[in-house]
Amino acid sequence: MMQHKTYFMTTFLLLTASIVSAAEWGDLTVQFVYDGTPPAPVKATVNKDVAYCGKFNVLDESVVVNPKNGGVANVIAHIYVGRGDSVPAVHPDYEKTAANEVKLDNKQCRFEPHVTLLRTSQTLLVGNSDEVGHNTNITALSNTASNVLVPAGGELKQKFPLAERFPMQVACNIHPWMQALVVVQEHPYMAASDADGKLTIKNLPAGKLTFQFRHERPGYLTEVTLDGKKTSWRRGRVELTIKPGQNDLGVVKLAPSVFEEK
């Protein structure tokens, strides 16, 4: 046992030691747009607790496209840290939120937000603003999985101390249409696109960084159109040079075929 602790401790020290301050910082902005006529929203099959959940316009959120501008919501972006690679330098601004509670609410028979961004140092606070009970079944690869019944008005605090290579899947078995993702990273450099398909990762250390992009339906975004050119991102990864200040990757178009169900 003792030996094992030392083994992890060494790894931990190596990672911590690599967090040094970078001299300059930059923001990365991207917009993801559906390259075609936006698909109409699909209503979720609300067949449980119909008296309550039926009051809300519950939608299938696996693909959410803005009908006005084609923006694709819930694209997940984060810095890719390979096995054995050190975590990039973290801007001091992020220290303020390092130990925050991050809320994942059960609200109007859906998870709010659909994509939660969680650092390993933060605490996930699962709430339930609804009048019905929900179970929050979290599947994890590296962390300990959990599945607790969260009653109306109840709350549950949980830590996920290890980074996850894939977002953790969250489901409510009582209401099978309810699905969400929780991204867990050791660093704060992650984002999910908003209703316009836009996402921003702030205060990145200037220099070369590898980013990874994914979406719930297709998984990694491997085939994209950037500046009108078809581009392949192997495993959704792309290396970018972040300059101090603003960095706009521009509009990334995603073909409708990307979102076809396999």
Partner 1 sequence: MGVVLAGCTPEAHFNANAVLMHKNENAAKETTEFSPQRRADIANTLVALFGTPDEPHIPAAPGIGEDDVHQVMDPRKISFAAGSVSSDEQGRARGLYREHCAHCHGVTGDGAGPTASFLNPYPRDYRMGIFKFKSTPKGQKPTHEDLKRILVNGIPGTAMPSFLVLPENEIDALVHYVRYLSVRGEVERLLIDYATYELTPQTEPSEDDPNPPPEDRLVNLEASEEDQESQAEVIRSFVSEVTQKWLDAESLATEIPAPDPDRDLAKSEAHGRELFYGPVANCIKCHGDSALGDGQTTDYDDWTKELDPANPELVAQYQKLGALKPRNIHPRNLRNGVYRGGRRPVDLYWRLKNGIDGTPMPAVLMLPENAPPGSKGLTEEDLWALIDYVRSLPYESISNPRLAQPKPNNQRERS
6 part of the interface to partner 1, by CB under 8 A: yes
Q: How many of the other CB atoms lie within 10 Å of CB of 227?
A: 10
Q: Which stretch binds partner 1 (CB under 8 A): 19-27, 80-88, 113-121, 185-193?
A: 80-88
* Cis peptide preceding 113, ω within 30 of 0: yes
Cβ-based nearer residue to partner 1, 132 or 240: 132
Q: Least separation, in Å, of the C-beta of 67 and partner 1? A: 27
Contact 99, 188 (CB under 8 A): no
Q: Of the candidates 87, 102, 174, 240, which one interacts with partner 1 according to CB under 8 A? A: 174
Residue number with CB closer to partner 1 (48 or 91):
48
Enumerate residues 9-48 that contact partner 1 by CB under 8 A. 48
Q: Of the two residues 99 and 145, which places its CB atom closer to partner 1 in the complex?
A: 145
**Contact call for residue 99 and partner 1 (CB under 8 A):** no
- Residue among 7 and 16 whose Cβ is closer to partner 1: 7
Chain residues 115-154 in contact with partner 1, contact rule CB under 8 A: 132-133, 135-137, 139-140, 143-154
Nearer to partner 1 by Cβ, of 3 and 68: the residue is 3
**Contact residue for partner 1 among 27, 155, 186, 196 (CB under 8 A):** 155
